[in-house]
């Protein structure tokens, strides 16, 4: 790798109570490098020095000897102000014991790190709510930590660690206190933060079942480095099991969608649905873009679908130059893209809200007429409307919709051009997918 390490540990030695009777030699001569966007696990039996290594990397534990650099800066040489800055915005920490403040609500706990950054309350809370929403704990926002399950508490603490959008997440046995289902859920969130949000993750665990999540594993024993292993069978996020859903248990709505989106797997129905949706929407609206443009834009689109940014911010990110971290599109493309995405989301929102159906259908027809430059005569319009209505109510699937649109008027269909029927049914399917959550 020719990028600079984000964390660099050289000949690190940590001795507790040095020179005293109760001296403990916790780490001997540890050297390692961690690169941006890696997911590294520090693994070993209890007492081997994992937490000490993690705390040394985060500046919570000063080395007895050796150096630790984070983002190129030597932690031992940082001023107090720099160290505070690092802990506020550079790194996020997640602990086994959560360390939530019992007298603060969930939302206030999450927003607490922002209080010290002097941001307005409205601003802070908006961000906090988005994170709670993302981790499915927004209903708990005004509860106190004691009212939450362990898994929910850990999700709160992860949300807190993310509130200032740090590049690095340190997690010390984050699922050590959780039942296996909650543990799985939290591990998935961390994986997603690594793969989708591109956070660098350093996680401490003694549980070998977690090793497959990592890109690389550092093995420790008795304070010594044993070996470092690249995880060759890291499972890509798509093939991961999210929840054990059985096909029979799925809603009719989802089954219908799955007929169209063949790679929408049971495993995606949990937390992976948003990235899936983003990909589909992306390739649907922008099939002519190159891979690089698609990739940068895709990340922003996911942020939008997660509710982390609004449509305006999405358009701004897409428009910004590559060099400045944007997607480097031209203004016109950004405008038509944002308009299209906005319209699709608005329509899917209307269907979800169960708005007046006649009104929803009218909007849908206006939208389709615009996008595909339709010019339908009376009976065509009537039958198209009827077919769309059936699709929206999940009475028919995409193929049946397409057939009804395609079928000649004489045979009771809408008599649209074959390609038009295909395009419309595809468009409606995307709207239905966006609606599904």
Interface with Mg ion by CB under 5 A: which residues?
51
Shortest Å, Cβ 50 to Mg ion:
5
Residue 46 touching ligand ADP (CB under 6 A): yes
Nearer to ligand ADP, 222 or 390 (CB): 222
Q: Which of 278, 340, 344 is nearest to 307 (CA)?
A: 278
**Separation between Cα atoms, residue 287 and residue 296, nearest integer Å:** 14
User: Using CB under 6 A as the criterion, what x/- string covers residues 162-201 for binding ligand ADP?
Assistant: ----------------------------------------
Shortest Å, Cβ 15 to ligand ADP:
9
Residue 134 touching ligand ADP (CB under 6 A): no
Residue 16 touching ligand ADP (CB under 6 A): yes
- Residue 299's binding partner, choosing from Mg ion, ligand ADP, none, with beta-carbon cut-off 5 to 8 A by kind? none
C-alpha pair distances (Å), 402 with each of 98, 133, 166, 347, 422? 52, 36, 47, 19, 6
Q: Which of 36, 47, 150, 349 binds ligand ADP (CB under 6 A)?
A: 47
Shortest Å, Cβ 260 to ligand ADP:
49
Residue 219 touching ligand ADP (CB under 6 A): no
Q: Which stretch binds ligand ADP (CB under 6 A): 42-50, 119-127, 135-143, 255-263?
A: 42-50
Buried b (16+ CB within 10 A) or exposed e, 248-260: eeeeeebebbbeb
**Separation between Cα atoms, residue 433 and residue 273, nearest integer Å:** 10
Nearer to ligand ADP, 24 or 104 (CB): 24
C-alpha pair distances (Å), 214 with each of 6, 170, 201, 209, 384? 17, 13, 9, 11, 51
**Separation between Cα atoms, residue 197 and residue 170, nearest integer Å:** 15
48-77 binders of ligand ADP (CB under 6 A) = 48-52
Q: Which of 96, 83, 94, 70 is nearest to 162 (CA)?
A: 94
**Separation between Cα atoms, residue 149 and residue 94, nearest integer Å:** 16
User: Contact residues for ligand ADP (CB under 6 A)?
Assistant: 16-17, 24, 26, 44, 46-52
């Amino acid at each position: 790798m020719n990028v600079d390490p984000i964390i660099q540990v050289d000949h690190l030695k940590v001795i507790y109570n040095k020179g005293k009777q109760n001296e403990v030699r916790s780490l001997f001569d540890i050297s390692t490098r961690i690169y941006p966007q890696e997911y590294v696990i520090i693994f070993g039996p209890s007492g081997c020095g994992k937490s000490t290594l993690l705390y040394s990397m985060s500046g919570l534990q000063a080395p007895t000897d050796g150096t630790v650099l984070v983002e190129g800066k030597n932690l031992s040489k940082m001023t107090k102000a720099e160290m505070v800055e690092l802990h506020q915005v550079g790194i996020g920490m997640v602990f086994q014991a959560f360390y939530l403040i019992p007298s603060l609500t969930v939302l206030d706990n999450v927003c607490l790190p922002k209080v010290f950054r002097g941001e307005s309350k409205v601003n802070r809370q908006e961000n906090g709510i988005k994170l709670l929403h993302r981790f499915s704990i927004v209903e708990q926002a005004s509860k106190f930590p004691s009212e939450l399950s362990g898994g929910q508490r850990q999700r709160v603490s992860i949300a807190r660690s993310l509130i200032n959008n740090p590049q690095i997440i340190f997690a010390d046995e984050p699922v050590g206190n959780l039942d296996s289902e909650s543990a799985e859920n939290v591990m998935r969130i961390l994986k997603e933060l690594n793969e989708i949000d591109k956070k660098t993750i350093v996680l401490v665990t003694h549980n070998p079942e977690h090793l497959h999540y990592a890109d690389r594993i550092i093995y420790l024993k008795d304070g010594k480095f044993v070996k470092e292993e690249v995880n060759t069978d890291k499972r890509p996020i798509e093939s991961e099991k999210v929840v054990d859903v059985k096909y029979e248990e799925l809603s009719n709505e989802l089954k219908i969608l799955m007929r169209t989106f063949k790679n929408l797997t049971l495993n995606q129905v949990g937390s992976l649905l948003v990235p899936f949706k983003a990909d589909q929407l992306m390739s649907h609206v922008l099939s002519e873009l190159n891979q690089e443009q698609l990739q940068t834009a895709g990340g922003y689109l996911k942020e939008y679908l997660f509710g982390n940014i609004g449509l305006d911010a999405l358009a701004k990110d897409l428009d910004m130059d590559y060099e400045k971290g944007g997607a480097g599109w031209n203004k016109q493309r950004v405008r038509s893209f944002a308009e299209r995405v906005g319209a699709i989301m608005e329509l899917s929102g209307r269907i979800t809200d169960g708005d007046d159906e006649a009104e929803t259908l009218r909007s849908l027809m206006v939208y389709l007429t615009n996008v595909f430059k339709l010019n339908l005569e009376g009976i065509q319009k009537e039958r198209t409307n009827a077919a769309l209505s059936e699709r929206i109510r999940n009475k028919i699937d995409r193929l049946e919709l397409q057939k009804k649109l395609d079928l000649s008027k004489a045979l009771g269909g809408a008599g649209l051009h074959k390609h038009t029927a295909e395009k419309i049914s595809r468009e409606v399917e995307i709207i239905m997918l966006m609606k599904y959550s």
